[in-house]
Amino acid sequence: MSEMAQTDPEGIDGVRMTWNTWPRSKVEASKCVIPLAASISPIRSHPDVPTLPYAPLRCRACSAVLSPFCRVDFTALIWICPLCFQRNPFPQHYSAISATNVPAELYPQYTTIEYSLPTPHHPDQSSPPSSGVFVFVLDTCMIEEELRLAKSALKQAIGLLPDNALVGFVSFGTQVQVHELGFSDLAKVYVFRGSKELSKDQVLDQLGLGVAGRRTGPGFQKGAPGGFPGITRFLLPASECEYTLDSLLDELGTDQWPVPPGSRSLRCTGVALSIAAGLLGACSAGTPTRIVALVGGPCTEGPGTVTHLILL
């Protein structure tokens, strides 16, 4: 029993499913009381996951990655995608592979692999490459004590980031607020309705990062991520905006939208995440980005609503 208790249920792949066996027919699937689902942790750390210092080999048709589940013809030097059955030739640097000499991607025990990709650095850029872009999304529909703990955790996370990591901040409740960090003397906030879904282009236009904002002029900054001169109003290096964010979080309170008795707070989580993703759309392709969301409850307003407003 002790060995079973220490067994990692998620394994090397970081996957946990609601059922241990797959239904063999529609009839068996309809009898499942709990729906068939999988919880995946793609960035979960595991000592047995290898890291390869090169880019993955992708299928030409569906962009699937070479894995142990692919069929390989070592004579013709081709591999067959298990998803779309496209026949893909191996590149020249794979010419030495054989049944006894396979790359790490084809090892049967390596069903999960991490790739360490070199960060491209253009010679015309005056600033060093960024350590990534982090947009923190904070839910304010909490009680005062929970919000205080969430703000404390957020401050600690920002303090642990590399100095050149770009940081953005979005808060939400009934509405979504995108905070401008590039001007510390006066706090500026862009407010979006929590019940209205917006596309990436609409978000960029509302923030002044649309077509008009992309025109280069005297104030163009080559170091701005993605070449958007206005993006530095919202995304700044952690070393430059840590004090501004600390002051902003100290002044941030719970959502003041009135809530009728016996009802849940209006929490527009879906719109907040959509706007954060739209803000990251101003970054250049290939830039590592991450949205860190601190959410205190289910979405009850706008896209992504999963529960009723009235407490049952």
Residues 168, 181: Cα–Cα separation, whole Å: 8
Record the tokens describing residue 3, joined without a space: 């060995």
The model's pTM is 0.61
**Quick one: three-class SS letters along 150-207?**
HHHHHHHHHHCCCCCCEEEEEEECCEEEEEECCCCCCCEEEEEECCCCCCHHHHHHHC
The full set of domains in the chain, from first to last, is 45-118 (2.30.30.380), 133-211+229-294 (3.40.50.410)
Would you place residue 187 in the very low, low, confident or very high pLDDT band (cuts 50, 70, 90)? confident
Predicted confidence (pLDDT) at residue 219 exceeds the cutoff of 70: no
pLDDT in tens, 262-298: 788 889 999 999 999 988 888 766 678 899 999 988 8
Question: Which of these, 273, 301, 265, lies nearest to 198 by C-alpha position?
Answer: 273
Query: What was the pLDDT predicted at 5?
Result: 40
Residues 219, 119: Cα–Cα separation, whole Å: 26
- Contacts of residue 176, defined as CB under 8 A and 6 or more positions apart, other chains included, come to 170, 191, 192, 193, 194, 268, 271, 272, 275
pLDDT in tens, 135-149: 999 999 988 999 999
Strand (E) or helix (H) holding 28: helix 26-30
